[in-house]
Amino acid sequence: MAKTPKKPGAGSGNTSGRGQRDLTVKVKTARGRKMSSKLWLERQLNDPYVKRAKAEGYRGRAAYKIIELDDKFRFLVPGARVVDLGCAPGGWCQVAVARVNALGAKSGKAQGSVLGVDLQEVEPIAGAEIHQLDFMEDDADLKVKDWLGGGAEVVMSDMAASASGHKQTDHLRIIALCEAAAYFAFDVLEPGGTFVAKVLAGGAEGSLQQLLKQKFEKVQNVKPPASRSDSSEKFVVATGYKGRDEEARPEA
C-alpha cells in the first residue's frame, strides 16, 4: 500500500525553516493609521525580545540590553548599590534587583539596593526604591546618596531625549543627556564604580568619550544583541571610577 507523503517539515524535527509556514505577523493599515505606526506595530509583534519580555515578566524588551551588558562586564554583583536614571518603565530595575540580591533571596550573598529615579511616576517594583525626581536638580545627588545611605557602585541610564525627527538634533540631545548623567555619576559613584549609558552613534560623542576616559580606568562601547540592528544606539560602559578630583589646596 502506498504511503501517504508527509507534509513538508512535519514530524521531521526540521528547525531550518524550510518547508515551514511563514509565521511573520502582518498588520493591515487601518483607516487613519500612519504607515510608521503600522511598521512599528508589525516590528513589535514580531520582535522575539518583546515576546520573551512578556513571557518572563519584564516591563519591556530593554531589560535584555542590561542583562547582556552585565553578562559581559559583571557590574551588577550581589551587594552593589545601584542608581537607575530615567528608570521608567522599570525593566532595568527589575534586572538589577535580582542580580544585586536586593530582596535577599540569595542566601549567603551580600544584599544590595536599587534606586530608580524618573521624571514621571513609575509603578512600584519589588526590591527597588523608586522616586519621582529630576536628576539635574542642584541637590539631586545629595538626595540620592541620602536615600541610598551612601555612594553607589553603579549608575546606569537608558534615557533618550524626545525625538524631534531630525537625526543630528536627536543625536546632540542624547549626547547632552548622557553627559549630564555622567556628571551626576561623578557626584554619587564610589571609587571603582561603573557608569553605563545609552548613546547614539553620530560623531558628537567624542567629547563624552574623552571626559569618561579621564574619570574611569576603562571605557568601552558596546552594541548588545538586544539592541535593534537598524538602531544607531550603543552603550558606553565605563569601569573603575577614579573618584572625584581633590579640592585645590590653598598654598601654605
SS3 sequence, 10-78? Answer: CCCCCCCCCCCCCCCCCCCCCCCCCHHHHHHHHHHHHCHHHHHHHHHCCCCCCHHHHHHHHHHHCCCCC
CA proximity to 182, closest of 201, 163, 210, 204: 210
pLDDT in the model for residue 48: 79
pLDDT in the model for residue 210: 93
How many residues make up the chain in this entry?
252
Residues 109 and 158 in one domain: yes
Q: Which cell goes with 75?
A: 557590574
Which of the following is catalytic: 145, 198, 234, 242? 198
Q: Which cell goes with 15?
A: 528547525
Q: For 198-221, write each residue's pLDDT tens digit.
A: 988 765 578 899 999 999 999 999
84 is in an annotated binding site: no
Is residue 9 one of the residues assigned to a domain?
no
118 is in an annotated binding site: yes
Number of domains in the chain: 2
141 is in an annotated binding site: no
In the chain, which stretches have pLDDT less than 70? 1-47, 163-164, 202-204, 246-252
Is residue 229 one of the residues assigned to a domain?
yes
pLDDT in the model for residue 55: 87
Whether 118 contacts 88, CB under 8 Å: yes
pLDDT in the model for residue 36: 52
Residues 49 and 70 in one domain: no
- Of the chain, the end-to-end C-alpha distance in Å amounts to 107
Is residue 15 one of the residues assigned to a domain?
no
CA proximity to 104, closest of 94, 112, 95: 112
pLDDT in the model for residue 28: 46
Look up 145 and say whether it is catalytic. Answer: no
Whether 85 contacts 181, CB under 8 Å: yes
147 is in an annotated binding site: no
CA proximity to 117, closest of 94, 140, 142: 140
pLDDT in the model for residue 128: 98
Residues 69 and 171 in one domain: yes
CA distance 194 to 201: 21
pTM: 0.78
pLDDT in the model for residue 22: 40
pLDDT in the model for residue 105: 93
Q: How far is CA 238 from CA 8, 152, 191, 234, in A?
A: 51, 14, 12, 13
Q: Which domain holds residue 39?
A: 28-57
CA distance 223 to 65: 9
Residues 50 and 72 in one domain: no
Residues 88 and 107 in one domain: yes
Give the count of beta carbons closer than 10 Å to the beta carbon of residue 252: 3
Residues 42 and 69 in one domain: no
pLDDT in the model for residue 38: 53
92 is in an annotated binding site: yes
pLDDT in the model for residue 20: 37
Residues 53 and 139 in one domain: no
Q: Which cell goes with 55?
A: 513571557
Q: What values do phi and psi take at 185, rounded to 5?
A: -60, -40
CA distance 122 to 94: 12
Residues 98 and 36 in one domain: no
Q: Are strands 81-85 and 216-222 parallel, antiparallel or unpaired?
A: unpaired
